[in-house]
Amino acid sequence: MPDAPPAARASPSTARNREPILAVLRQHLPARGLVLEIASGAGEHAVFNAAALPDLQWQPTDPDDEALASIAAWRDQAGLPNLLAPLRLDAADPDSWPVQAADAVVNINMIHISPWAATQGLMRGAGRLLPAGGVLVTYGPYLERDVPTAQSNLDFDRSLKSRNPAWGLRHLDAVAALAAEHGLTLAERVAMPANNLSLVFRKA
């Protein structure tokens, strides 16, 4: 990926995890349609994925002004016809979402760096927007029953909670149960580098 343009943010972790995430998306996203990315952050994943998946319309979103400016700067530099202008979207308030339908929803590195209300909104909104068979793909670290948690993830969890007590790694079972309340079934758990997971939820 080229150097960040003015007003854009860049994260070294994106360069490390974008290829494994794309591999999961290639396997599970539809061939064509609209992908709603919730909590796009700096926008680097949006540019990378839109470039790699040109037959999909990619809609980045975020609630933060600086993030929206960063997404717009990356988008302007990339000049991709299938990367749409970023929209303001608060995951915790799905009734206010500016998108009424999507063929797939993608959520990278939000669930652990946000209050639980954001995950509740994500599942409710995705359950409403997606068509039958549509997918929600999430990525990040999780806690799992009967699976030892890596020390790095335990340290990360403590760090997150020290920054905001409402943040922290979520239990996979709790996330899957919440998704099921909104018609989304956990279809696949994909182990990723650096002790992360991609979770693929499919609407019944």
Q: Which of 72, 75, 24 is nearest to 48 (CA)?
A: 75
pTM beyond 0.75, yes or no: yes
Q: Of 87, 6, 76, 74, whose CA–CA distance to 39 is shortest? A: 87
Q: Check residues 124 and 13 and name the one with the higher pLDDT.
A: 124
DSSP 29: S
pLDDT per residue as tens digits for the range 170-199: 999 999 999 999 999 999 999 999 999 999
CA 13 vs. chain centroid, Å, equals: 14
Rounded to an integer, the average pLDDT of 96-105 is: 97
The three-state secondary structure class of 159 is helix
Contact 106, 199 (CB under 8 A): no
- Among 128, 123, 64, smallest CA distance to 90 is for 64
Q: The tokens 């070294």 sit on which residue? A: 12
pLDDT at 201 over 70: yes
pLDDT digits (tens, 9 = 90+) for 18-29: 999 999 999 999
- What phi-psi label fits residue 71: left (phi over 0), alpha (psi between -120 and 50 degrees) or beta? alpha
Under the banding of pLDDT at 50, 70 and 90, the label for residue 10 is confident
Q: How far apart are CA 20 and CA 191, in angstroms?
A: 10
Residue 17 and residue 82: Cα distance in Å, rounded? Answer: 22
Domains located in the chain, CATH noted: 12-140 (3.40.50.150)
**In the structure, what pLDDT confidence band is assigned to residue 7 with cuts at 50, 70 and 90?**
confident
- Summarised one tens digit per residue, pLDDT across range 135-179 is 999 999 999 998 999 999 999 999 999 999 999 999 999 999 999
Q: Are 87 and 37 in contact (CB under 8 A)?
A: no
* Bridge partners for 139 per DSSP: 108, 198
Please answer whether residues 124 and 139 qualify as being in contact, where contact means their C-beta atoms are separated by less than 8 angstroms.
Answer: no
